[in-house]
Structure 1
Amino acid sequence: MMMKLTLSKVTGSARLGVITALAQSGGEKTLEVPGCLLYTRTGSPPHLTHDTLQNIAGVPPVTHLTLSTLAEHQEVLEEYKEGIGKFAGLSDTLLYCSINDPVTPNPPGYNTNKTVSVWGSGGRLELTPQRFVSLQGALRVDWIQCLCDGEAAADGCSRKRAKKSVDRSLSFLDECLKLMSENEALKQKVVIGAIEGGDLQEERLRSARETAKRPVGGFLLDGFQGGSGDPENKLNLIAAITAELPEDKPRFIHGIGRPDEVMDCIERGVDLFDSTFPYEVTERGCALSFTHQYQPDPETAGEPQRPVLDKKELINGEQTEDESEDAEDDRSSITAYEICLKEKRFREDFRPLLQGCACYCCRHHSRAYVHHLLISKELLAGILLMIHNFQQYFNFFRSVREAISDGKFQDLKEMIRKQAS
């Protein structure tokens, strides 16, 4: 079974389309691209229950699980016999399982020609293709990122290491595909092949061409997360890779979530992203505060449907003299797309987190209240911020799709870029 990507418009390399035939069970679910997946930790959306998740509009129909957090629970799932979807209450969504959690990547130096190491709460686990396939049999997800050697990052590695990452990953892919084809429960699953090769274009292109020859349903551009390395070189590499891949299969990327970086990747042919960025913003005690309304509708000018950004709220560390009330708070990771609600200036700010936002938090609570919750270290702070940040992020991708459809992609990209400067 292969999922089907149908493109309706391509602007440069930015692709607008819809993925159908998402799972072997059939059904009517579709996933629009460009888009993102619903990020979870050990099968649950961070800070949220499945009930509170219902307060968020436009939740993606595909949920992102991570093998590193689930591998140690294999025996429990094998005994349960009905898969992680039912076990974690995720039976109404499609499931995609990546090897690593983009928020906490594995330490390098532990992969071999025969095993890939992942780290769970109990320490390191070595996965052979055989163990990987048996683990997938217990999980019963719909889309499976194949076992790969993802240690050769795009911000630099030796030529020898880059070549080894490609050779190992192709070998793992071939072995896993063979084992899955012999397993009745797994033979119809969608396999996502990883494109490896570090920062060497020739190895990346070899990986792309060879992976595309295998019966995979999509491609993961691996190793691009992390802030080091030349951003322009990474983008050129992404553009070269996507140019080699077939048009009718989706391209995934992990660990890239900042709005301006997302726009750069979409412009170079990437289709699907994780939604770890809203979680990271929440963990910083921050709220997404950027606008993605590229074209105001005069008919609805009096009733804003999208967030309206107060220019004074663009935070980059120099634009406010107010210090956070948490002395240990690290401001270096705060982006220009968010406001830090731990700051003293929000103590008596009774506006919603973002003017014009229709999320549950902004409809019912103020910045001052969320500030109080954060300073008091109340768990409700994370819940309210997660609802807001997920809602804003999912709305952002909707705006990207609308911009491509309307021929306004560059206008939106410029608007997003200006908010970072």
Structure 2
Amino acid sequence: MTFRFTLSGTDGAARTGAIDTPRGSIRTPAFMPVGTAATVKGMFPESVAETGADILLGNTYHLMLRPGAERIAHLGGLHEFMNWQKPILTDSGGFQVMSLSGLRKLTEEGVTFKSHIDGSKHFLSPERSMEIQQLLGSDIVMAFDECPALPADRDRIAESMRLSMRWAQRSREAFGDRLGHALFGIQQGGLERDFREESANALREIGFEGYAVGGLAVGEGQEAMFGCLDFATDMLPQDKPRYLMGVGKPDDIVGAVKRGIDMMDCVLPSRSGRTGQGWTRRGMVNVKNARHADDPRPLDEACTCPCCRSYSRAYLHHVQRSHEMISGMLLTWHNLHYYQELMQAMREAIAAGAFAAFEADFHAQRAEGDIEPL
């Protein structure tokens, strides 16, 4: 079976459909939980699937350092290694390597860097990134790129974007023809319309199975990100999936889908869960706050996740303040469940031609704030 993207409905710029892969179908718009080191922190793979996730994200940089791509390949590939038989997307490692700052050296050929774990020296290039992702066996592979932090001056953004486009061509050549697997190109160009268009044109000429909007959610703020998506998304092919990398908060996700994005990922649901934060229809709830200590109500009375079905705010407050592992486990499960419910609600709204009403209701509920204390 080949990789295929099908649109089943649109409402304005918002789209719904499916990405079909040999390992299963991905309903879009889709949110991908992040399994950085072959695990979504605090969750069993079966539990992640129960939340409604169709696909996970794995991290090339972290997995190449530990336990090593060759070792994972020897053990049957990433799906077998982490007990996740649905699709997996792996990022290229570029973002993590670029964030190492003083620990790396960038050239046309690639990036030499020191491991943040033990200081060992490594080299990552488009060719090596493709090799690693093939060893991992991921279903969706990301081209190797450079992502400069914003704000940056136009010369720096242009230089970085054009390097990424040259690396995109090398990634395409190194990826080869892998039936059932897909390679996504990554649009760069900061917040600059002309650079985004130049990047999109270069990627379309190379040809990819999907296209990502990269270089956003790196400090520019939501208003600037949405402003960029207002023009950047339409520069990408209509008949291919569009992936916004590293996003985000629930209102970021709704705004991105409104602007034509099909796929997103973010560590926020699991990271927030580990720090005592639960995302609900009425916004974010911090269970560490004293107001929850005697509250027998669930985190979200409308939620059907195991956390909300069986545990009170008082209990969540207690285990968080006591630094018990179950706190992060329960809140992560809830957060991932909420994110997947949000995606399902958007898919249904788009299919019904009711996305504007959904969006208005989404913002109205959040504006109400958390339920009143007892």
Instruction: Calculate the TM-score normalised by the size of structure 2.
Output: 0.88
Instruction: Check whether the contact 1:77–1:139 (CA below 8 A) recurs between aligned residues.
Output: no
- TM-superposed CA distance for 1:216, in Å, is 1.0
The alpha-carbon distance between structure 1 residues 103 and 33, as it changes in their structure 2 partners (threshold 3 A), is farther
1:369 to 282, 296, 315: 315
Is the alpha carbon distance of 1:4 and 1:239 closer, same or farther for their aligned partners in structure 2, counting shifts above 3 Å? Answer: farther
Between stretches 262-271 and 68-77, larger displacement belongs to 68-77
Partner of 1:296: none
Find the aligned partners of 2:112 and 2:365 in 1 and give their Cα distance: 39
Flag the 1:98–1:395 CA change in 2: closer, same or farther, 3 A: same
> Matched residues in 1 for 2:287 and 2:98: separation?
27
Deviation of the 1:227 alpha carbon: 4.1
Question: Residue 300 of structure 1 aligns with which residue?
Answer: none
Is 2:9–2:17's contact at 8 Å kept on the other side of the alignment?
Answer: yes
Report if aligned partners of 1:116, 1:147 keep a CA contact under 8 Å in 2. Answer: no
Aligned-partner Cα distance in 2 for 1:351–1:103: 40
Shift of 1:51: 4.5
Contact 1:403-1:409 within 8 A present in 2 as well = yes
| CA displacement at 1:372 relative to structure 2 | 0.8
Distance 1:167 1:195, change over 3 A: same
Instruction: Report the more deviating stretch, 156-165 or 367-376.
Output: 156-165
One-letter code aligned to 1:66 = N
Q: Is it true that 1:407 corresponds to 2:358 in the alignment?
A: no
Aligned equivalent of 1:245: 236
Match of 2:371 in 1: none
Alignment-derived partner of residue 9 in structure 1: 9
Displacement of 1:3 after TM fit?
A: 2.5
Q: CA separation of 1:105/1:413 partners in 2, compared to 1, >3 Å: closer, same or farther? A: farther
**1:211 is the counterpart of 2:203:** yes
Q: Does the aligned pair in 2 maintain the 1:259–1:416 contact within 8 Å? A: no
Q: Is the 8 A contact 1:62 1:96 kept in 2?
A: yes
In structure 2, what is the Cα distance between the partners aligned to 1:86 and 1:115? 30
Q: Structure 1: state its 5+ residue gaps.
A: 291-308, 310-336
Q: Does 1:234 align with 2:225?
A: yes
Aligned length: 362
Give the C-alpha shift of residue 244 in structure 1: 1.6
Match of 1:145 among 142, 147, 166: 142
Aligned partner letter, 1:13: A
Q: Deviations over 1:345-365 (max 9, x none)?
A: 111111111112111111111
Shift of 1:420: 4.8
For the 8 Å contact 1:146–1:194, the answer to whether it is kept is yes
- Contact 2:349-2:355 within 8 A present in 1 as well: yes
Residues 1:415 and 1:226: Cα distance change in structure 2 (over 3 Å): farther
* CA contact 1:193–1:218 (8 Å) conserved in 2: yes
- Quick check: 1:278 aligned with 2:269? yes
Q: CA deviation at 1:160?
A: 1.5
Asked if 1:178 is matched to 2:170, the reply is: no
1:416 and 2:362 are equivalent in the alignment: yes
Secondary structure of 1:387 counterpart: helix
Cross-structure match for 2:212: 220
Distance 2:46 2:8 in 1: 34
When residues 188 and 9 of structure 1 are mapped into structure 2, their CA distance, relative to the original with a 3 A threshold, is closer
Q: Residue type matched to 2:34 in 1?
A: Y
1:199/1:106 Cα in 2 relative to 1: closer, same or farther (>3 Å)? same
Per-residue CA deviation, residues 238-260 of structure 1 (Å, 9 max, x unaligned), is 12122121111111112222122
- Following the alignment from structure 1 to structure 2, what is the Cα–Cα distance between the partners of residues 78 and 87? 7
Give distance in 1, aligned partners of 2:247 and 2:188: 16
Which residue of 1 is the match for residue 251 of structure 2? 260
Shift of 1:386: 1.0
Alignment-mate amino acid for residue 209 of structure 1 = N
CA spacing shift, 1:175–1:103, aligned 2, 3 Å = closer
Name the CA distance, whole Å, in 1 between partners of 2:191 and 2:220.
12
Q: Tell me if 1:269 matches 2:260.
A: yes
Distance in 1 (CA, whole Å) between partners of 2:264 and 2:308 is 25
C-alpha contact 2:185 2:203 (8 A) present in aligned 1:
yes
Q: Distance in 2 between matches of 1:344 and 1:269?
A: 41
State the shift of 1:217 in Å.
Answer: 0.9
Contact 1:102 1:276 in 2 (8 A): no
Query: Which amino acid is the alignment partner of residue 65 of structure 1?
Result: G
Asked if 1:351 is matched to 2:297, the reply is: yes
Counterpart check, 1:339 vs 2:285: yes
Q: Residues 238 and 75 from structure 1, CA distance in 2 versus in 1: closer, same or farther, beyond 3 angstroms?
A: closer
Root-mean-square deviation over aligned CA pairs: 2.5
Residue 95 of structure 1 aligns with which residue?
88
Which amino acid in structure 1 is aligned with residue 57 of structure 2?
A: H
The sequence identity of aligned pairs, in percent, is 25
| Counterparts of 1:416 and 1:104, CA distance in 2 | 36
Conserved 8 A contact 2:140-2:182: yes
The one-letter code matched in structure 2 to 1:223 is G
Q: In the alignment, is the contact (CA less than 8 A) between 2:189 and 2:199 conserved in 1?
A: yes
Q: Give 1:57 shift.
A: 3.5
CA distance change for structure 1 residues 271 and 79 in 2, over 3 Å: closer, same or farther?
A: closer
TM-score, normalising length from structure 1?
0.79
| Aligned CA distance change for structure 1 residues 63 and 156 (closer, same or farther; 3 Å) | same
